[in-house]
Structure 1
Amino acid sequence: MSEPWDERVAAFWRDADDDRPEAMLAQMQALIDERGAESPEALYEWASVHDFLGREGDAVPLYRAALERGLAGERRPQAVVQLASSLRNVGEADAAVALLQDHPGDTVTGAAPRAFLALALRDAGRPDEALRVALKALAPTLPTYRRAVEAYADALVDSDPAR
């Protein structure tokens, strides 16, 4: 009996090599074919391989489709973060901000949503807010100076008076 699909997908990612894009696409396509192209998990993995290969424009609609079709479990929070990152990379920083603004961290992604929100805010021309988000995410990890860093973050004023 062959390994379960998720284990083979995990093995694919352990061996991922962006120097072999066509081989990676072919290997992932074989896995997708087993699950079915409309499966939310398959759509997510297909988006992820495109994203990994720097084809974020192709990944965006695939991530959206996976989420719309009910992607669940550990893949769902990863898909939200990866979609936001891809949106930022294709010049849609405001869409990335909207996606991550109220997205909580979880045990799968930790503070990654805040990190990618900070990047999107910076690209959206909101550097003070970006720094504030980054510092707020960092502060809980500081054994000393946590309170000071939080206070400095709270004191940052958005440099865009229109916001």
Structure 2
Amino acid sequence: MNAHTRDGRLATAIALREQGAPDRAREQLLALTTEFPEDAEVAYQTAWVHDVLGLEAEAAPFYERALRDPTSLTETDRRGALLGLGSTYRVLGRYARAVETLRGGVAEFPDDGALRTFLAMALFNTEEHHEAMTLLLNLVTTTSRDPYVQRYGPAIDHYARDLNETA
């Protein structure tokens, strides 16, 4: 892959981020977004590097751009972009938008435990504690390998439906 092509430059920027040089990656990605403003993959990688740098306010518009067309990213990147945008909204205190984004992600990818976990956190922030706990408890019973959680899984699932039930 030629280092001067879009793909080569994008690969280099991703490698820089992965190797712990996010500032250099950001420079390259911002240049790519100028050249390829409608490129969803470039927008997603640019959002991601901004998140790595703690620049969530700058990340959000790039995530939004990356998600504009539901078919423009691979499934893996779309999952990451939905989680990234939802998490970014949450960090920025835009809790309702975080819930909306993460709910959409969970609807699209119901098997994604990370999306469900971040949705639970956003629900906590909107004081939807029962739904947040239900999500987390169901996630625990479906993903835990702990033999004691497995043993009590049916009881945990039962109480997850109504945490106020005592009998």
Cα offset, 1:48, TM superposition = 1.1
> 112-121 or 62-71: which moved more?
62-71
Q: Is the 8 A contact 1:105 1:112 kept in 2?
A: no
User: Please, what TM-score do these two structures have when normalized by structure 1?
Assistant: 0.78
> 138-147 or 51-60: which moved more?
138-147
Cα offset, 1:127, TM superposition = 2.1
Cα offset, 1:92, TM superposition = 0.8
Cα offset, 1:101, TM superposition = 2.1
Note closer, same or farther for the CA distance 1:9–1:137 as it changes in structure 2 (3 Å cut).
farther
Question: RMSD across aligned C-alpha pairs, in angstroms?
Answer: 2.6
Task: Name the % identity.
Answer: 30
Whole-angstrom distance in 2 between the partners of 1:156 and 1:35:
53
Q: Does 1:39 align with 2:39?
A: yes
1:67 maps to 67
Cα offset, 1:35, TM superposition = 6.6
Cα offset, 1:66, TM superposition = 1.2
Q: Is the 8 A contact 1:105 1:113 kept in 2?
A: no
Q: Which has the higher helix share?
A: 2
2:79 is aligned, of 57, 77, 80, to 77
Q: Which runs of 5+ in 2 are unaligned?
A: none
Cα offset, 1:111, TM superposition = 0.7
Cα offset, 1:65, TM superposition = 1.2
Q: Is the 8 A contact 1:105 1:111 kept in 2?
A: no
User: Please, what TM-score do these two structures have when normalized by structure 2?
Assistant: 0.76
Q: Is the 8 A contact 1:104 1:113 kept in 2?
A: no
Q: Does 1:152 align with 2:149?
A: no
Note closer, same or farther for the CA distance 1:105–1:137 as it changes in structure 2 (3 Å cut).
farther
Note closer, same or farther for the CA distance 1:35–1:149 as it changes in structure 2 (3 Å cut).
farther
Counting matched residue pairs gives: 152
2:137 maps to 135
Q: Is the 8 A contact 1:63 1:79 kept in 2?
A: yes
Whole-angstrom distance in 2 between the partners of 1:60 and 1:14:
20
Q: Is the 8 A contact 1:60 1:87 kept in 2?
A: yes
Cα offset, 1:34, TM superposition = 9.2
1:22-70 Cα distance to aligned partner (Å, 9 max, x none): x34224335x269723211111111111111111111112111111144
Q: Which runs of 5+ in 1 are unaligned?
A: 158-163
Note closer, same or farther for the CA distance 1:7–1:46 as it changes in structure 2 (3 Å cut).
closer
